[in-house]
Amino acid sequence: MQNTPKGMRLQIGVFGARNAGKSSLLNRLAGQQISIVSDVAGTTTDPIEKAMELQPVGPVLLIDTAGLDDEGTLGEMRVEKSRKVLERTDLALIVSGTGSWNSLEKNLAEQFSALKIPFIAVFNKSDCCLPEESLLQQFDAQKIPVVSVSALTATKVSWIGRKTTGQKKIDKQGATRLPVSFYPSNSPVEGLSAA
């Protein structure tokens, strides 16, 4: 499976603000320390890729990106690189590390919707902060799959999403027309089940 060409792999991009825990999430999904983690905002500069077999999805390419709120001349260059990844992503994880869903996350969600790229709202750091119930209801109303996780403690707090029948196998061709029902039981972030 390691021989699967990059273009044939489902490309899963991890996006969000600096310090949201994007790299921690990627490392947790990969089960290895692939990307550097630190509490210094702006730790990840260039996109970091990890090709792996993610059950039950199959061959994937996980892509960690620099925070989209990076600033300054260098920061803008990093953001530009993250945006290039955005365009080639088959499935996006929009990571919030604050329990809130602000303009950065909203803009990302709008962009993915416009590009017809499926995304999952990931509330990381659930050991510290959880989203309000009213916010979760808004996601549910919009049929946006949501998960609360802690990349630090490897805990998946809850799945919030519509449960319908008839799952489809995810693949590159099918990625843009995944039913929401895919996520609660078969999501790539399923790897974050309780330790």
Q: How far is the CB of 177 from Mg ion (least distance, A)?
A: 30
Alpha-carbon span 124 to 109, nearest angstrom: 16
Q: Pick one of 23, 27, 124, 126: the residue that binds Mg ion (CB under 5 A).
A: 23
Q: How far is the CB of 43 from Mg ion (least distance, A)?
A: 5
State which residue, 67 or 161, has the beta carbon closest to ligand GTP: 67
Stretch 29-58: interaction string toward Mg ion, x if CB under 5 A: --------------xx--------------
State which residue, 59 or 190, has the beta carbon closest to ligand GTP: 190
Binding partner selected for residue 39 from ligand GTP, Mg ion, none, CB under the kind-specific 5 to 8 Å limit: ligand GTP
Q: How far is the CB of 3 from ligand GTP (least distance, A)?
A: 29
Alpha-carbon span 66 to 19, nearest angstrom: 10
**Which residues inside 130-159 make contact with ligand GTP, applying CB under 6 A?**
150-152
Alpha-carbon span 153 to 28, nearest angstrom: 10
In one letter, which amino acid is 154? A
Q: Are 149 and 159 in contact (CB under 8 A)?
A: no
Stretch 48-67: interaction string toward ligand GTP, x if CB under 6 A: ------------------xx
State which residue, 8 or 128, has the beta carbon closest to ligand GTP: 128
Please calculate the CA angle 37-190-57 and round it to the nearest 5 degrees.
105
State which residue, 70 or 182, has the beta carbon closest to Mg ion: 70
Asked if the bond preceding 131 is cis, omega within 30° of 0, the reply is no
Beta bridge partners of 57: none
Alpha-carbon span 136 to 118, nearest angstrom: 18
User: Tokens 């300054």 belong to which residue?
Assistant: 72
Task: Write the CA distances from 186 to 33, 66, 71, 191, integer angstroms.
Answer: 24, 27, 36, 10
Task: Name the residues that contact ligand GTP, by CB under 6 A.
Answer: 18-24, 37-39, 41-44, 66-67, 124-125, 127-128, 150-152
Task: Name the residues that contact Mg ion, by CB under 5 A.
Answer: 23, 43-44
